[in-house]
């Protein structure tokens, strides 16, 4: 039997996941302990008022959510429904193409700017995850679009339109987060150098034993903020007070989370929170995170305004490219990469 690189193409006993996907007993999703209640889910913020008289109310809601959850959802975000439907549709088409057509884009090198891969980092991890993903760098778009898959034929156009719209949203959110910290609205945008934006099209096939494996194990995102689009199949969970909360899909709503760089810039006022994706027996799931980033050469450090005698600087300065390489090399095994960038006194 030929070796299969992608989970979508695996040939296995229909009732059992292959052994390399099985987590040790101490590291399983414990799906019966997940909090499913809608009332306890993460806050939904209406961005309608962002540019009007409700501006400070919206900023206050953003600040509260960042402090209490590290996560929030946004509605009336300005990204047209058609743009969202198109990118979800073309992603589904991509993952349903024949194996040989998909594999033209395969690479296991995390630093490649366009690549199809599987799990998280196949070069470093011991247990595999039940996920395939197409990762695309997308800002500045003209530097990368020629690398993107030319099949399905509308992928470049649909993904580009989506990226441009989500970038506008990301800039507003980063401005709001900056203001919520008491910084100038453009402080964080300026700290990101020339800016960067990546996205992943995540594909989680149905899984015969979702209680034994993960789509993605608990992790924090290394970037500035992540804007997640998910289809109508649940799977995302967020850690809150030691419990995993399910974030069930609300149509036309994005899920936003603080990444490690906001934790650094805010000098630990806002925390980059652990989250994970679980799989299920019946339905494939697609999620599309946009990772808004500094440019690789941008120097990251806590904002001087947030450092004083009571709050000494927690992190040393570093370039984003240094952080990003460490993130991919250490894998998702231990929980956060931030500890490697703390000052010796912190
Ligand atoms: C990620 C991520 C969650 C999901 O790709 O970093 O957290 O629901 N994805 O796919
Ligand atoms: Ni993530």
Domains of the chain by residue range: 25-341
pLDDT band at 110 (very low <50, low <70, confident <90, very high): confident
> Which superfamily is assigned to 25-341 in CATH?
B-lactam Antibiotic, Isopenicillin N Synthase; Chain (2.60.120.330)
C-alpha 136 – ligand 1 centre gap (Å)? 15
pLDDT band at 37 (very low <50, low <70, confident <90, very high): confident
Residue 221 CA: nearest ligand 1 atom is 6
Considering the entire predicted model, what is its pTM?
0.97
Report helix, strand or coil for 149.
coil
Q: What is the pLDDT of residue 101?
A: 97
Beta strands in 111-253 (DSSP E): 114-118, 132-139, 196-204, 216-219, 225-230, 236-240, 243-246
Does residue 302 have its Cβ closer than 6 Å to ligand 1?
no
Task: Among 130, 198, 201, 228, name the best residue to mutate to test ligand 1's pocket (greatest count of ligand atoms within 8 A of Cβ).
Answer: 228
Q: Which residue has the tokens 């994005």?
A: 254
Q: What residues flank ion ligand 2 with Cβ within 5 A? A: 221
Q: What is the pLDDT of residue 125?
A: 87
Q: Which residue has the tokens 């760098």?
A: 137
Question: Per-residue pLDDT averaged across 253-270, rounded?
Answer: 98
Report helix, strand or coil for 291.
strand
280-321 confidence digits (pLDDT tens): 999 999 999 999 999 999 999 999 999 999 999 999 999 999
Task: Name the token pair of 217.
Answer: 């194990």
Task: Among 29, 34, 130, 216, name the best residue to mutate to test ligand 1's pocket (greatest count of ligand atoms within 8 A of Cβ).
Answer: 216
Nearest CA to ligand 1 atom 10: 287
147-202 confidence digits (pLDDT tens): 999 999 999 999 999 999 999 999 999 999 999 999 999 999 999 999 999 999 99
Does residue 221 have its Cβ closer than 6 Å to ligand 1?
yes
- Residue among 164, 35, 144, 25 nearest 87 (CA): 164
What contacts 234, CB < 8 A, 6 or more positions away?
246, 247, 248, 249, 280, 285
Which stretch of DSSP H or E encloses residue 303?
A: none
pLDDT at 333 over 60: no
pLDDT at 224 over 90: yes
Does residue 198 have its Cβ closer than 6 Å to ligand 1?
no
């Amino acid at each position: 039997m030929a070796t299969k690189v992608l989970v979508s193409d695996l040939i296995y006993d229909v009732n059992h996941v292959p052994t390399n996907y099985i987590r040790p007993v101490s590291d399983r999703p414990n799906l019966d302990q997940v909090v499913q209640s809608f009332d306890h889910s993460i806050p939904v913020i209406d961005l309608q008022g962002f540019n009007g008289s409700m501006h400070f109310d919206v900023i206050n809601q953003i600040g509260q959510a960042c402090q209490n959850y590290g996560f929030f959802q946004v509605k009336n975000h300005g990204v047209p429904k058609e743009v969202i439907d198109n990118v979800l549709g073309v992603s589904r088409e991509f993952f349903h193409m024949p194996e040989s057509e998909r594999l033209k884009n395969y690479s296991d090198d995390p630093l490649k700017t366009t690549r199809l891969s599987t799990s998280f980092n196949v070069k470093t991890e011991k247990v595999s995850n039940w996920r395939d993903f197409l990762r695309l760098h997308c800002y500045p778009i003209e530097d990368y679009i020629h690398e993107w898959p030319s099949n399905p034929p509308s992928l470049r156009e649909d993904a580009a339109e989506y990226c441009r719209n989500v970038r506008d949203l990301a800039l507003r959110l980063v401005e709001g987060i900056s203001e919520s910290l008491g910084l100038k609205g453009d402080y964080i945008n300026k700290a990101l150098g020339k800016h960067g934006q990546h996205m992943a099209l995540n594909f989680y096939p149905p899984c015969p034993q979702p209680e034994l494996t993960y789509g993605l194990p608990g992790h924090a995102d290394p970037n500035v903020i992540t804007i997640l689009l998910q289809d109508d199949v649940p799977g995302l969970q967020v850690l809150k007070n030691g419990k995993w909360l399910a974030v069930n899909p609300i149509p036309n709503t994005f899920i936003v989370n603080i990444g490690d760089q906001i934790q650094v810039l805010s000098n630990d006022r806002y925390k980059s929170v652990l989250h994970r994706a679980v799989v299920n027996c019946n339905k494939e799931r697609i999620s599309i995170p946009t990772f808004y980033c500094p440019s690789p050469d941008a120097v990251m450090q806590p904002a001087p305004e947030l450092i004083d005698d009571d709050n000494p600087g927690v992190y040393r300065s570093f370039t984003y490219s240094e952080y990003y390489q460490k993130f991919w090399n250490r894998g998702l095994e231990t929980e956060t990469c931030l500890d490697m960038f703390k000052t010796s006194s912190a």
